Amino acid sequence: MSKGSRAVRFRGGGLGLFIQSPLHIVGTAFLLFLVYVAVSNIAAGDYTLRQFLQNLIFGLAQGSIYSLIALGYTLVYGILFMINFAHGEVFTAGAYSGFFTMYTFAQSGFLQENTLIAILLTFLSGTIASVMVAVALERVAYRPLRNAPRLVPLITAIGASITLQQLYLRLFGASARRFPDINLYILPDVFTDLECRVVDGVEQCLGMDIIGGIYPVEIFGIALRLRPISFIVFFGALFIMWALWMFIQKTKTGRAMRAVAEDKSTSALMGINVDRVIVTTFILGGALAGAGAVLFVIIPGNGQVNPLMGFFPGIKAFTAAVIGGIGNVPGAMFGGLFLGVAESVGPSLLGISNQLRDVISFGLLVLVLIFRPTGFFGEVLSEKKV
């Protein structure tokens, strides 16, 4: 420990455990300031439990999508020790493919008649498109550089990202396209008073609209307005993550992925085709991003598809992966949810504009990097990895 940090420790008093470098003073001051603002807002009654619950549920849905994308970053990092900066564009591919599929269904009337099938096929097409882009990236941009110094594929990744953005721009045009509105009604016999309209003088109730609907709900005397889609996205994403976890832990290919992540040349000695395992990793990351993209555009209000749309979810998910500890699968799941909730709950808690939610995300990233550079779940990097 250096002289300077000892002095800091003294000044830090009770926070001594926290403060080990001058940078930690800045971080701690910032953290205390945030807590102060939040507490004073709550004390002044400017912040209510209703707001919190409302934002929490929205944040969990948004965050679970971040988690899905973050897993793509973390899986690839775990095996190749590189950041696939073009992963946001893998997400965009899924969104466009999903959009075109759903748009076609909406135009032809298939969406209105077979809504559930249309949604499932949209997921399929979004996932396939993202997987194809991810695999192409690996083949064209990364595999030829497998033995190059680590900075080289990083630069290529940024180049690939810009190339794909420009490709989408030329192929699909610069204007944003609106994802079709979807209404999926369920259980008309249970929710007899929902989505009622008068057709030819007769009142008809369709039941709960679990995609486009928003309904007042009272929980513990607190009146909320909730979208069923938030729960579907959240639990759908959790299910996908569970399936991924089982795949990595229980299957032969998952075992090979973990072996390759630890030691490529010994894995090859065991008869593992390392290149094939790497491709599998990109396929998994792409599939998660594609599913995430369709979940993202299906949420009413998010439904804009444009060539640059992958940038922000991509950079947020990367942030989430770093917060959780890059290379760590549960870390990416946690990081995404944490970030989603923080940027949803944060603005109103701190009494700032909702436009500033990105500042909260990246501010949190800075704080995590100050206090725990390896992320919440990250292990200290071994020399071999560095």
Binding residues (CB under 8 A) for another protein: these are 252, 255-256, 258-259, 262-263, 265-274
Q: Find out whether 107 and 96 touch, Cβ atoms under 8 Å.
A: no
Burial class (CB in 10 A: 0-12, 13-18, 19+), 238: middle
Nearer to another protein, 269 or 386 (CB): 269
Rg (CA), the chain: 23
Least Å distance between CB 246 and another protein? 15
Least Å distance between CB 354 and another protein? 42
Nearer to another protein, 2 or 249 (CB): 249
Nearer to another protein, 190 or 269 (CB): 269
Nearer to another protein, 180 or 254 (CB): 254
Residue that the structure tokens 């999508």 belong to: 65
Least Å distance between CB 223 and another protein? 49
293: closest CA among 107, 133, 185, 111?
133
Nearer to another protein, 46 or 263 (CB): 263
Angle between helices 87-108 and 115-137 in degrees, nearest 10: 150
Q: How far apart are CA 144 and CA 152, in angstroms?
A: 11
Q: How far apart are CA 144 and CA 137, in angstroms?
A: 11
3-state helix, strand, coil in the chain (%, to 5): 70, 5, 25
Q: Which residues partner with 203 through β-bridges?
A: 198
Least Å distance between CB 86 and another protein? 28
Q: How far apart are CA 227 and CA 186, in angstroms?
A: 14
Least Å distance between CB 142 and another protein? 19
Nearer to another protein, 355 or 382 (CB): 382
Least Å distance between CB 196 and another protein? 57
